[in-house]
Amino acid sequence: MQRTTRRTGLVLTTMAVICCVMLQSASAQQTAKPVLHGSHWVAITGKPLAATAGAMIFQQGGNAVDAACAMLAATSTMFDTLSWGGETQALIYDPRQHKVVGINALGAAPSGATAAYFMDQGLDYPPEFGPQAAVTPGTPGGLMVMLEQFGSMSLEQVLAPAIEMADGYPIEAQAANGIERRKELIKQWPYSRQVLLPHLGDSEREAPHAGEIFRQPDLAATLRKLVDAEKEALIGGASREEAIRSAYRRFYRGDIAEEFVRGSREMGGLHTLQDLANWQVYVEEPVMTTYKGIEVYKLNTWVQGPVMLQALNMLENFDLKAMGYNSARYIHTLYQVMNLAFADRDFYYGDPYYPPEEPIAGLLSKEYAKARAKTINWDHNDPDVGPGDPYPYQGGENPFLEHLRNWGGAALDAAEASAARIEAFEDAFYAGTTSIQAADAEGWVVSVTPSGGWIPAAIAGHTGIGMSQRMQSFVLEAASNPYNVVEPGKRPRATLTPGLAIKDGKPFLSFAVQGGDSQDQNLLQFFLNVVEWEMNVQQAVEAANINSYQLLGSFGEHESSPGRLLIQSATPPWVRAQLRRLGYTLVDRERTSGPINAIFFDWEHGTLWGGSSHHGEDYGIAW
């Protein structure tokens, strides 16, 4: 008995030492890239040239919104992870009002895009590529509304870097090689062929070479038309804001809209002039929860943002530090909590401007979170996690109980699936997107996750505008998700999810990441790395992540792979062994998140700390 007691004490002491070492290593780890320190401004985004565009605007006296718009324009011109026909969603901290506002610039389904239409084609979901995968363009409108309402510069000023790039810039290897890999799809669309394959017919390579000057004359002409509309309005006595609205009208109701629709319909697209004219940007209230007194803001259910808030509500019930940083217990907890939150996403999230009304109050209820957390199986992964019922937590009755009882996703059996199918599943899981972070000494903060129109994109006529692929995130049957069934004018539930956190009434963190369905998984861990594990912002963006593949993918065939767990290559063997005993199938990668970009606000010293992941092409500049 005495020997058993001593042995137990030794085991507990050893575990305590291990946890202590893990805590110390989490907070003291070295980083591959340095923290960005600035006192005036920080500009970070997914491409070095685009970060430079933001820095140029700051140096000309622009605020963080002006710089974010310039970075958005530049990244959209670079075509790799997004283009001008995609979608933009942003959180902005407005120091004048001391509040966070949301920008909803997600495109909508065009006329004729009904569930019956796609079912008649024998499809389970809207197409993954091509003109019929495209919602209405959102990024141009989102940029112009942000600039008009929160910026200080003219449209001509913030578009200047992008116009220069459209005239010709040295294309980077990632985009050039992506075009070459996807060239057979690109060849289907005549205007894409002209722009993206300058060496068409060359047996060696048809895409641009890395470093080659990549020219987009049609896009340059479109952007100049917007600037011309602004100039004409200013000559006529319009204010800065009215002049930007004139450019907006030219894009969505003028000759640019006409050519976009003509080009779309020529290739079989469903867009009409009325679709573009009716679409609008919403400046809206974001949703928020608190985690240990910190206010965390996300966009509403038209994206997956509330998932992170639901997860934080559940995690607040556990002593995470006692588990040890990235221990098997900690990883299991994160995986199970994320599965619960994402199951709710997969059933309840959709466009809040269209019926039925999403139960967001119940989903974000702290009591609902406690009830969901109590269902966690601590001994084994639960492959059958499904959505809960948040309606009682907002004083209502669930109108879709029958669908809820019968709900189930399309599981990908990793043991039987071909390597090609698994690779396609994982590629879709991380599809597209970049992120933009900007902040300045005046107090403006901008967090953006733009996307859509990534390679391979169908270009609409002579606009130079690459069309979005976001239609594929809709479902066709209410049994899958009654809130996200496709219909004309409706916005698909997207994955795009910027974040902002406020502490003691002041900005604390601004953060976003590319990577499709992994985004809120990565951002949840980034936030915990700062708040629970006391990492600085660069340590937190470089730290090892895990990813669950158990949620339903938002792209392609919307599949799921229960128990599939992405871990970092350096995960210790004893942690791996414990995870396998818990029922996980481990996927090993050296880097385990999309590039996270973030800003930390150091109010003690009055400075800004920028962090940008050490992989991908993300880059930041500070002053």
Mean pLDDT for 526-544 is: 97
Q: How far is CA 522 from its chain centroid?
A: 10
Q: How confident is the model at residue 617 (pLDDT cuts 50, 70, 90)?
A: confident
Mean pLDDT for 480-503 is: 97
pLDDT in tens, 203-256: 999 999 999 999 999 999 999 999 999 999 999 999 999 999 999 999 999 999
Q: Return the pLDDT at 556.
A: 86
77, pLDDT greater than 50: yes
Long-range contacts formed by 231-235: CB under 8 A, 24+ apart: 231/156, 234/154
495, pLDDT greater than 50: yes
564 token code pair: 């599939």
Q: Which residues contact 283 (CB under 8 A, 6 or more apart)?
A: 101, 102, 103, 104, 145, 149
52, pLDDT greater than 90: yes
Of 330, 323, 398, 332, the closest CA to residue 368 belongs to: 398
| Cβ atoms 266, 287 nearer than 8 A | no
Helix (H) or strand (E) holding 51: helix 48-59
pLDDT in tens, 61-70: 999 999 999 9
Mean pLDDT for 21-25 is: 42
Q: Report the distance separating Cα 82 and Cα 428, nearest Å.
A: 15
Long-range contacts formed by 223-229: CB under 8 A, 24+ apart: 223/73, 223/159, 223/162, 223/163, 223/166, 224/163, 225/250, 225/255, 225/256, 226/140, 226/144, 226/155, 226/159, 226/250, 226/251, 226/256, 227/155, 227/156, 227/159, 227/163, 229/254
| Cβ atoms 621, 40 nearer than 8 A | no
Radius of gyration in angstroms for the set of CA atoms belonging to the chain, rounded to a whole number: 24
Does 4 or 339 have the greater pLDDT score?
339
Q: How confident is the model at residue 23 (pLDDT cuts 50, 70, 90)?
A: very low
Q: To the nearest whole percent, how much of the chain has pLDDT over 70?
A: 91
Q: Report the distance separating Cα 565 and Cα 307, nearest Å.
A: 18
Range with the lowest mean pLDDT among 11-15, 35-39, 41-45, 266-270? Answer: 11-15
pLDDT in tens, 557-581: 898 999 999 999 999 999 999 999 9
Site of tokens 């197409």: 127
Q: Return the pLDDT at 15.
A: 38
126, pLDDT greater than 70: yes
Mean pLDDT for 272-297 is: 98
First to last CA, the chain: 65
409, pLDDT greater than 70: no
Q: Return the pLDDT at 12.
A: 34
Mean pLDDT for 502-527 is: 95
| Cβ atoms 192, 453 nearer than 8 A | no
20, pLDDT greater than 60: no
Q: Domain coordinates of the chain in residue numbers?
A: 69-88+103-283+459-473
Does 615 or 329 have the greater pLDDT score?
329
425 token code pair: 């599943």
pTM listed for this prediction: 0.93
- Whole-number Cα distances in Å, 375 to 240, 339, 384: 55, 12, 12
Helix axes 306-315, 328-348, angle to 10 degrees: 140
Task: Tell me the pLDDT of the chain averaged across its residues.
Answer: 92
Q: Return the pLDDT at 405.
A: 93
Q: Which amino acid is at 141?
A: G
- Per the DSSP assignment, residues forming a β-bridge with 509 are 501, 600
Report the C-alpha dihedral over residues 608, 609, 615, 619, rounded to 10 degrees. Answer: 30
74 token code pair: 């530049």
Mean pLDDT for 127-131 is: 96
Please give the angle made by the CA atoms of 60, 243 and 90, to the nearest 5 degrees: 65
Give yes or no for a cis peptide into 359 (omega within 30° of 0): no
Q: Return the pLDDT at 234.
A: 98
**DSSP assignment of 604-622:** TTTEEEEEE-SSTT-EEEE
